Amino acid sequence: MKGIKAFTLAEVLITLGIIGVVAALTIPSLVQKYKEQATVTRVKKFYSAFSQAYTMAINENGTIDTWGLEDSEIDVDEDGNSGYSDSSLEQYEKFFNIIGKYLQKVEYEPIRNTRGKGFVMSDGTQIIAIWLQPSRCTGNGINHSDTYCGDFYIKTDNKPARKDDGTFNSNVFVFNINPYRIFPRGTDNTEFKDKCLSGTDMSRCTGWLILNENMDYLHCKDLDINTKTKCK
């Protein structure tokens, strides 16, 4: 029909090229954002499930200092390799046996470098290390010096837990064990900035993730728990 103009081949190719450039610029960031939100969901799900299990455990068995556990210890073999002592691994198993009764759909698998066993949740989130200090866990929940019962580290994917320099990667998160609750590390602004934002210990980003439900600390270095909780 007369009067109808079609696109030339050059115009079509230019348009497709522009679309390709835009896609190349935006798709990676969208994929990264999706992965970060998936991590947020995993960590929050774990925190909720484990906190509830811990609360149920202390309601039925008393506080952790009454569970018959001993403090964790590290042994170093003749080759200089460190790991939990055999007695510590026994305490480790006792702790899991008590908590495991209150968790649903939990499996066990070996933990790298510890010769022990740890929790693996149904979504793949796993406890990779735990440190128990029940002898210090005798306070009333007010003073940190006598309410530190230990801590544990979780990993949300199959990537290495540590960077080449030995510090934790962004897929590792840490929680403290208190006589009455589990709580994430990194809710204090000073700790968040000194450890998380600086990159010296990414596990201390846990508190930020739980509070703000994002991982913007991977992209912005001017964040503040009290004043700026997102990149934009």
Number of residues in the chain: 232
Q: Is residue 219 part of a domain?
A: no
Residue with the two structure tokens 């793949």: 124
pLDDT at residue 101, rounded to an integer: 83
Q: Is residue 91 part of a domain?
A: yes
For the chain, what is the domain count? 1
pLDDT at residue 49, rounded to an integer: 86
Higher pLDDT, 47 or 18: 47
Higher pLDDT, 149 or 75: 149
Token pair recorded at residue 183: 């709580």
Domain that holds residue 81: 10-184
Q: Is residue 4 part of a domain?
A: no
Give mean pLDDT, residues 83-97.
Answer: 79
Q: What are the helix (H) ranges across 62-139?
A: 86-100
pLDDT at residue 152, rounded to an integer: 87
Q: Is residue 76 part of a domain?
A: yes
Give mean pLDDT, residues 61-85.
Answer: 81
pLDDT at residue 161, rounded to an integer: 87
What digits encode the pLDDT tens for the residues 128-151?
888 888 888 876 555 554 588 899
- What percent of the chain clears pLDDT 70, i.e. is strictly above it? 82
Token pair recorded at residue 113: 């470098």
Give mean pLDDT, residues 83-110.
Answer: 73
DSSP 34-86: HHHHHHHHHHHHHHHHHHHHHHHHHHHH--GGGS------EEE-TTS-EEE-H
Higher pLDDT, 13 or 144: 13
Q: Is residue 218 part of a domain?
A: no
Q: Is residue 202 part of a domain?
A: no
What digits encode the pLDDT tens for the residues 22-41?
667 666 676 778 889 999 99
What digits encode the pLDDT tens for the residues 43-62?
998 899 889 889 999 999 99
Q: Is residue 166 part of a domain?
A: yes
- What percent of the chain clears pLDDT 90, i.e. is strictly above it? 31
Query: By the 8 A CB rule, do 124 and 109 touch?
Result: no
Q: What is the pTM of this model?
A: 0.81
Q: Could you give the maximum distance between any two Cα atoms of the chain, in Å?
A: 92
